[in-house]
């Protein structure tokens, strides 16, 4: 689907239009204190005007009180959205906390987590804190999860398998049919977490379907985040959908009142604003293509991404490239484990991406690099 920026601005409304046309002056800017942040996979355009209004109202009327029924109301709203029971929904401080809760609930000391490599970087520190071992299985040559190799590494000590789809930091998809076959082969004692933080960015395809929308069995935890397409990274709220007995085990590791009033109300409003989600996804597709056009013009290769970031092959040690951008006031992510020449670039606003390419071209040989 192709959509003009003018049409997008009309759909976003006046508040979001300000974020698109002058992102450094209001909500949605990736620039903080003079720095452009392209390293955290945020939605550079921020939340919708509807969500901003909800946060403003909550901040003016509710922040002096401890959370009351806001978290329960959000759980019920998420349950209705997905057509599941409220008891199947577990809230967290971002989906990252759900990962931590799962490790504490199902792994623990001297047990194992099988995961792709590279993947979501918080997995390692959480496992270390729990005294658990991460069994890292390299991605396949097409950058999908190597499911046969992951199966081979599962043993009696394995408590959790982690799948990130689309995967962070590569942005790549593993086919739904392959994942379903993988789940069928797993021993019954293993719990599987499927991280769908970037679900809303994925374009329609026969190779992809959410495991919330099309569940398969009774031991799968699916996580989602309001930090990405909904533009609420600073609010820190995510959730899991799981079978009731699995959800109860997760909740046993949950921080009491861990989701604050403003975050809960903002997340509920974001879930209701489906038009903004769809518009943001289309804008992301266009921005990603624009990024790839610039990369191709400089003869740079990247990994095909289904998310709001691109893993770019710089053709040189990534650490030096990251430092070059830092000296020009731009933060990018890297080096990526097992990808020493790659940086992960979150898609920013058009103005921010112009600054990115301006800084790139200041590197020796940057504008005419061949691969």
Task: Specify which residues 86 forms β-bridges with.
Answer: none
250 and 301 housed in the same domain: no
pLDDT score, position 27: 45
Domain-ending residue, one of 272, 290, 319: 272
The residue segments making up the domain with residue 200 are 52-272
- Tell me what the pLDDT averaged over the chain comes to: 90
Based on the domain organization, do 114 and 212 belong to the same domain? yes
**pLDDT digits over 294-352, tens only?**
999 999 999 999 999 999 999 999 999 999 999 999 999 999 989 999 999 999 999 99
Question: Of 272, 303, 320, which closes a domain?
Answer: 272
What's the CATH code of the domain at 321? 3.90.1150.10
Position 23 scores a pLDDT of: 33
Both 22 and 170 in a single domain? no
- How do residues 82-104 score in pLDDT, each as one tens digit? 999 999 999 999 889 999 999 99
Shared-domain flag, residues 69 and 142:
yes
- Return the residue matching tokens 């790659």: 342
Q: How far apart are CA 151 and CA 108, in angstroms?
A: 20
Do 171 and 244 share a domain, yes or no? yes
Place of tokens 């452009």: 36
Find the length of the chain.
371
The enclosing domain of 245 has a CATH number of: 3.40.640.10
Higher pLDDT among residues 22 and 107, named by residue: 107
Domain-ending residue, one of 272, 291, 308: 272
Count CA within 13 A, CB hemisphere, residue 291.
30
Using alpha carbons, select from 110, 113, 131 the residue that is nearest to residue 123.
Answer: 113
Mean pLDDT of 179-194: 95
Question: What is the mean pLDDT of the segment spanning 211-238?
Answer: 93
Domain assignment present for 95: yes
- Tell me how many domains the chain contains: 2
Residue 366 counted as domain residue: no
What pTM, to 2 d.p., does this model score?
0.89
- Please check whether residues 96 and 153 belong to one and the same domain: yes
Task: Tell me if the bond preceding 118 is cis, omega within 30° of 0.
Answer: yes
- The predicted pLDDT at position 366 comes to 67
CB 353 within 8 A of CB 360: no
**DSSP-derived 3-state class of residue 242:** coil
- For residues 260 and 290, membership in a common domain is answered with no
Evaluate whether residue 301 is within a structural domain: yes
Structure tokens that stand for 339 in this block? 């990808």
If asked whether residues 295 and 337 sit together in one domain, one would say yes
| Together in a domain, 177 and 267 | yes
* Residue 24: pLDDT over 50: no
Mean pLDDT across 21-45: 67
Asked whether residue 368 is assigned to any structural domain, the reply reads no
244 HSE (CA, 13 A, CB side): 4
140 within a domain of the structure (yes/no):
yes
Percentage with pLDDT > 70 across the chain? 89
The mean pLDDT of 182-208, rounded to a whole number, is 95
Lowest mean pLDDT: which of 129-138, 252-261, 289-298, 361-370?
361-370
* Residues 103-119: tens digit of each pLDDT: 999 998 999 999 999 99
Reply yes or no on whether the pLDDT at 80 is more than 90: yes
Torsion of CA 90, 333, 20, 273, to 10 degrees: -10
Mean pLDDT of 124-132: 93
* Surface-to-core class of residue 326, CB atoms within 10 Å of its CB (0-12 exposed, 13-18 middle, 19+ buried): middle
Residue 371 lies in a domain: no
Together in a domain, 56 and 43: no
Looking at the domain assignment, is residue 370 inside a domain? no
367 in a domain, yes or no? no
Q: How confident is the model at residue 144 (pLDDT cuts 50, 70, 90)?
A: very high
| pLDDT(19) > 90 | no
Question: Are 103 and 133 in the same domain?
Answer: yes
- Residue 370 has what pLDDT? 41
Reply yes or no: is the peptide bond before residue 304 cis, omega within 30 of 0. no
Q: Are residues 357 and 312 in the same domain?
A: yes
């Amino acid at each position: 689907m192709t959509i003009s920026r003018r049409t997008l601005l009309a759909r976003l409304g006046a508040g979001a239009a300000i974020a698109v046309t002058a992102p450094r002056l209001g909500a949605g800017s990736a620039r903080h204190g003079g720095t452009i942040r392209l390293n955290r996979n945020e939605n550079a355009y921020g939340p919708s005007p509807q969500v901003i209004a909800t946060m403003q109202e909550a901040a003016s009327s509710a922040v002096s009180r401890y959370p009351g029924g806001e978290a329960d109301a959000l759980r019920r709203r998420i349950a209705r959205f997905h057509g599941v029971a409220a008891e199947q929904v577990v809230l967290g401080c971002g989906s990252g906390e759900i990962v931590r809760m799962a490790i504490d609930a199902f792994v623990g000391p001297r047990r194992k987590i099988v995961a792709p490599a590279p993947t979501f970087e918080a997995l390692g520190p959480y496992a270390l804190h729990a005294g658990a071992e991460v069994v890292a299985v390299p991605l396949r040559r097409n950058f999908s999860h190597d499911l046969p190799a992951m199966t081979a590494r599962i043993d009696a000590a394995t408590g959790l398998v982690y799948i990130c789809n689309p995967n962070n930091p590569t942005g790549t998809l593993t086919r739904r049919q392959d994942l379903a076959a993988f789940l069928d082969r797993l021993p019954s004692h293993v719990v599987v977490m499927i991280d769908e933080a970037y679900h809303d960015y994925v374009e329609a395809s026969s190779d992809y379907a959410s495991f919330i929308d099309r569940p398969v069995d009774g031991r799968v935890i699916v996580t989602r985040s309001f930090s990405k397409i909904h533009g609420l990274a600073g609010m820190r709220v995510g959730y899991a959908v799981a079978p009731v007995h699995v959800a109860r085990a997760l909740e046993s590791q949950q921080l009491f009142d861990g989701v604050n009033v403003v975050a809960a109300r903002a997340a509920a409003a974001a879930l209701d604003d489906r038009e903004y989600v769809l518009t943001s996804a289309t804008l992301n597709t266009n921005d990603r293509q624009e990024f790839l056009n610039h990369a191709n013009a400089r003869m740079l290769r990247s990994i095909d991404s289904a998310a709001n970031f691109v893993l770019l092959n710089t053709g040189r040690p990534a650490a030096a490239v990251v430092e070059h951008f830092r000296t020009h006031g731009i933060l990018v992510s890297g080096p990526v484990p097992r990808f020493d020449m790659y940086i992960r670039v979150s898609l920013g606003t058009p103005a921010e991406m112009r600054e990115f390419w301006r800084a790139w071209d200041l590197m020796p040989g940057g504008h005419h690099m061949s691969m």
